[in-house]
Amino acid sequence: MIGATLKSNPETEKFRRSPATVMTLARMGSAHPTRLSFLRHLLRRMTGGDWRFERSVWQMDDKGVGRAVYRAIGPERTYSLVAFAHDLPPEMRSDRVIATAWDATFTLFDGTPDAADLDRLEANVPLQEAGRISPRELSLSRANRSVRLFSHVVECLAAGQQPDIAEIDAVGYLMRTTAVYGSGKFGASDYALVADRAELSIPFQAEMLSVWLTRQFTIDIVEHMARVRGGDAAVPLDSAIKHALGVGNSTGLGMAPYLVRHPVLLNNWMMAREEALARVRAQPDATPDAVAGLKAAVQAARENAAYWRSEHPIQIGKLSALRNDLETVDTHLSAWPMTEDHPWDALWTWGEGTLSLEGQEALLAAMLEPHGELVDDLCSGMSANETASFAIDGTMKVGTLRRVLEDRYDWALCIDFADPANCARFWYVSEEKLEPRLGNRNTEFGQDLEQPLCTGRLAQELHVALADWNEEQLVAEFLLANPDQRYMTRRAQRCGTYPYSEVRDNLIADTTLPIDLMRCKLAFFGASRFDPRSDKWVRISLFQDQVYPSDLNWRVVQ
């Protein structure tokens, strides 16, 4: 268990940021992808030389309707992205989870599908939530075209020309996924069944592989449509333009509660990242290679920030601060390192005192970048078995539980929940789509069906319920008399063991921004160009500027 390992490392512990610093919504909502992100981990494995790739099926008609199979063939196992392309009328195209039709639908198959598998999948995958997949499948997803850019690219390529770079930069992707379902969803394999495979032991590797292969599909389908239209005049997409394209992703509220519902997983992600930063800061000196690597990473971050666009007022402000911060960092680095002891720690301490939260988290990502050998092994601690910590410890004394609350939920115990502003919202699940939503407590129906995401208020209620109990009494006795406190008792005990497991902010305040939770999760995925379209849904990009399978050991089966 990562927590146990890390606690026994006094060398780095003194450099580690506290949960009180890290686990606030404002800072989680400023998270940047790092080299520990799941997408980066996947690419390290895929580009390591052990894997080859092929497009084994391409049955596509002149309307771009048909199916394709992409295989990732590893040393032990093969995974196949099965793609179904559709001809979607414009009026049906929507990124909302309430959509019922998409431009393309996908599943990641465990192995190589035969014709019967493909027929079974064709009867189900295009239906998405209304269909049914099996334990042979590891993910279920769909994507819509960026209508504007897709059409532009098809027209240009068909005419033998390359698309306008300004158009490419303005959008950044040909297609965007609108949901990528994984572990156990709609009949897919439970994660526990495949978690012992090296290539899937880090979280979200199947989902990331599926999106990476989807990125290849988006290029192949746009070139296919260009050939249909232009015939011999059509040209393939220029390599540099191709690399500037990622896969977009559009994500709504459904993702927001995930980190609250998987506390041990959240802890392990945060703990890995924080230990990585601590290891970098704990180094007594800075090698020339690492200094050069840092400066290159800061330059890359500056370029990324220059292309990163948003129309959301909050994100516009944060982006402006980020660009200024990165310039400040750049200037600071011209005279760094001096002869100081522990130069990385000095750099970090300077950044903490100088930069906005966006800038600090960007600096963190840049500081990890040249330190693969020092930190990449931490990825192995980022998965979690939530079941292992499910059972409540009834032998814990009431006094101990109370101290956990006072230590790790101090932020919650001081909130005045009688103030309507502090409980203005409530999380619920919609009957229509069985998706999480956030309602206004004063004006919307359904607060009696509130989901237990109001962790701060629940912690305070538990603290009140414990008030009359003697320090020496046992949690088992307390729960026998207070079965309703079981939920929060479990959370609090977990937080006692896993200090980064709880978001230390009120999730039902009028000021709560659900996009902060999404930003944090998406950064751990490796998403860039975070672009909120409201405080409840965002667009991001995945795999932008990264390699394609077709850049590696690749073949197309004719």
Partner 1 sequence: MTQTPNDPTMSGSPVETVAGGALSCAEIEALSLKAARGAGLSWGMAEEAGYAATWLEVRGLDGASTLLALLDLYGDGDLASLSPDVDDRIWRAKGAHLCPLAAGTALSDFRGLGQADIASGPLSITNVAHPLLLLPFVHALANATGTAVHLTSEGDTCSVDPTGAVWGDIAACSDRRDLTLSSEAVPQDPVTPSKTACIIDKDTLRRLQDYALRTTVPASDASRAGAGAATTDND
Applying CB under 8 A, does 8 fall inside the site for partner 1?
no
Residues 423-442 within binding reach of partner 1 (CB under 8 A): 428-435, 437-440
Question: Between 251 and 290, how does the x/- string for binding to partner 1 read (CB under 8 A)?
Answer: -xx-------------------------------------
Asked if residues 378 and 272 have their Cβ atoms less than 8 Å apart, the reply is yes
Q: Name the residue nearer to partner 1 (CB basis): 135 or 420.
A: 135
Q: Name the residue nearer to partner 1 (CB basis): 53 or 186.
A: 186
Binding window for partner 1 (CB under 8 A); candidates: 42-50, 52-60, 322-330, 446-454: 446-454
Q: How far is the CB of 64 from partner 1 (least distance, A)?
A: 11
Q: Name the residue nearer to partner 1 (CB basis): 187 or 399.
A: 187
Looking at the DSSP bridge assignments, the partners of residue 249 are 177, 540
Asked if residues 235 and 469 have their Cβ atoms less than 8 Å apart, the reply is no
Applying CB under 8 A, does 130 fall inside the site for partner 1?
yes
The strand pair at 173-181 and 246-251 is best described as: parallel
Q: How far is the CB of 41 from partner 1 (least distance, A)?
A: 23
Query: Considering only residues 1, 101, 413, 465, which one is a binding residue for partner 1 as defined by CB under 8 A?
Result: 101
Which one, of 415, 405, 412, 399, lies nearest residue 493 by Cα?
405
Q: Name the residue nearer to partner 1 (CB basis): 371 or 437.
A: 437
Q: How far apart are CA 247 and CA 527, in angstroms?
A: 10
Applying CB under 8 A, does 532 fall inside the site for partner 1?
no
Applying CB under 8 A, does 511 fall inside the site for partner 1?
no
Q: How far apart are CA 531 and CA 528, in angstroms?
A: 9
Applying CB under 8 A, does 135 fall inside the site for partner 1?
yes
Looking at the DSSP bridge assignments, the partners of residue 180 are 141
Q: Name the residue nearer to partner 1 (CB basis): 111 or 135.
A: 135
Q: Name the residue nearer to partner 1 (CB basis): 480 or 557.
A: 480
* 302's tokens: 């500056």
Applying CB under 8 A, does 187 fall inside the site for partner 1?
yes
User: How many residues appear in the chain?
Assistant: 558
Which one, of 283, 279, 330, lies nearest residue 302 by Cα?
330
Binders of partner 1: how many residues, by CB under 8 A? 87
Cβ contacts of 387 within 8 Å, gap of 6 or more? none
Residues 167-186 within binding reach of partner 1 (CB under 8 A): 183-185
C-alpha 452, offset from chain centre: 22
Applying CB under 8 A, does 480 fall inside the site for partner 1?
yes
Query: Considering only residues 241, 244, 479, 547, which one is a binding residue for partner 1 as defined by CB under 8 A?
Result: 479
Q: How far is the CB of 124 from partner 1 (least distance, A)?
A: 6
Q: How far is the CB of 367 from partner 1 (least distance, A)?
A: 34
* 3-state SS assignment for residue 4: helix
Residues 365-424 within binding reach of partner 1 (CB under 8 A): 387, 390-392, 394-395
Applying CB under 8 A, does 464 fall inside the site for partner 1?
no
DSSP state of 140: E
Binding window for partner 1 (CB under 8 A); candidates: 44-52, 190-198, 228-236, 314-322: 190-198
Query: Considering only residues 49, 90, 284, 288, which one is a binding residue for partner 1 as defined by CB under 8 A?
Result: 90
Applying CB under 8 A, does 77 fall inside the site for partner 1?
no
Q: Name the residue nearer to partner 1 (CB basis): 44 or 487.
A: 487
Q: How far is the CB of 216 from partner 1 (least distance, A)?
A: 21
| 93: alpha, beta or left? (left if phi > 0; alpha if psi -120 to 50) | beta
Widest distance between CA atoms in the chain: 84
Q: What is the 3-state secondary structure (H, E, C) of 248-299?
A: EEEECHHHCCHHHHCHHHHHHHHHHHHHHHHHHHCCCCCCHHHHHHHHHHHH
Applying CB under 8 A, does 333 fall inside the site for partner 1?
no
Applying CB under 8 A, does 314 fall inside the site for partner 1?
no
Q: How far is the CB of 247 from partner 1 (least distance, A)?
A: 16
Applying CB under 8 A, does 533 fall inside the site for partner 1?
yes
Applying CB under 8 A, does 473 fall inside the site for partner 1?
no
List, as own/partner pairs, every contact residues 327-330 make where C-beta atoms lie below 8 angstroms and the sequence separation is at least 24, other chains included.
327/302, 328/354, 328/355, 328/359, 329/298, 329/355, 329/359, 329/362, 329/363, 329/366, 330/298, 330/299, 330/302
* 3-state SS assignment for residue 104: strand
Question: Between 137 and 156, how does the x/- string for binding to partner 1 read (CB under 8 A)?
Answer: -------x-xxx--------
Q: Name the residue nearer to partner 1 (CB basis): 109 or 348.
A: 109
DSSP state of 505: S
Q: Which amino acid is at 305?
A: A
* 549's tokens: 């399978």
